[in-house]
Chain A
Amino acid sequence: MVMFSASDFFNGTFWERLHGGSTHLPIALALTSAVLDGIGSLVPPGKIRENFRFSGYFTLLLAALGAVPAVISGLMLTHWDAFGSGVILLHHYFVWPSFALLVALAVWRSVVRHRPSKVGFSIYLIAVVTVAVGISIAGFWGGELLLNN
């Protein structure tokens, strides 16, 4: 019988497990947000578009909030080495710009809410797709680190 105690939970791999688990939330939500806003832009103006845009905004907000524990646990995992070298550096090259853009977009969208202009929202859409791609690439390199060590 395998016994599992609290001390096992908080052992050396705690931050590894927390980071691995928590990073999936912002990745999934950023991708979902980009898809919802993309679909919302394709459907004719009306209630359905409003619903898609609201869902897109809400998922982006959750992605930004969910990215905070992911980033903090990642920093704990690397002993606060924000760059590193090799694959971890590659991982960080995508993490930091994506996180910065994610926070910026969440703030912008929260201030503008449902009143963005057509040009403003088009630029926003390009940016949110960039975040979704960037955060996914960061996740890919993170997975490479996990599987190869």
Chain B
Amino acid sequence: MLRKIIQTKEGLFSAIVLGILVLTALLGPILYPYHPYEINVEKILQAPSLKHPLGTDLLGRDLLSRMIYGARISLQVSVVAVGISLIIGIFLGAIAGYLGSWVDQTISRFIDIMLCFPTIFLILAVIAYLEPSILTIMIVIGLTSWMSVARLVRAEFLSLKEREFVLSAKIYGASTFRIIFKHILPNALPPILVSASLGMGHAILIESALSFLGIGVQPPTPSWGNLLIEGKETMEIAWWLSVFPGLAILITVLAFILLGETLQEILNPRKR
């Protein structure tokens, strides 16, 4: 599948970007030239140079190191958040779509209710009661972003359960469990993967937004959103502090979206 992905321009771009991102996040401590928390008052607000490729911040910390560390945080948040939303979304969507009747009605109305709240305010409300930490951020983003997955899965199940190959499986005696997980779910997977990929980008954006508002990942832990807000203070004299984290968010989200689109193309079995 990877080969298929990198055969398109968009796929190649997203594969390279996400590959680098995952590698830096994994290799973090080996890669960064300075410790991300290391304060050096003699090197405050230095412009990008050979010694500090992306410059230094108000406390003289190396921006590159902090961004590498931040990549780890951002990726971690998005993976866990999307994981949670996928688990909830697939489960609720599958039973709503497959069982229909009042189960479907109940779940669908619940989804509608959840969608009525603007996500960011819903998150703000939840965070108000909880200690802001990376863990709560991940869980809260996951718990507030499963609705689109659930809707998607429900719609797929609704149409797939009436398809003749599912009826045939029923007729030759396949169990409900087998029908749901072997016959329907794999066929519903392409749109789920696409939405998961888009969801990753979305999760990074929400995390950045929350950190920007000061209720996300707490300083001094650097996440990209955190770095962005720190950079905001000194934007006029040190452009690099807001430009580089901003670019990182932009490129990563773009890569996830393009990956989603590429997946949509190649997961269509008729095009294989």
Are A and B interaction partners? no
Residues in B lying within 8 Å of A, measured CB to CB? none
Residues in A lying within 8 Å of B, measured CB to CB? none
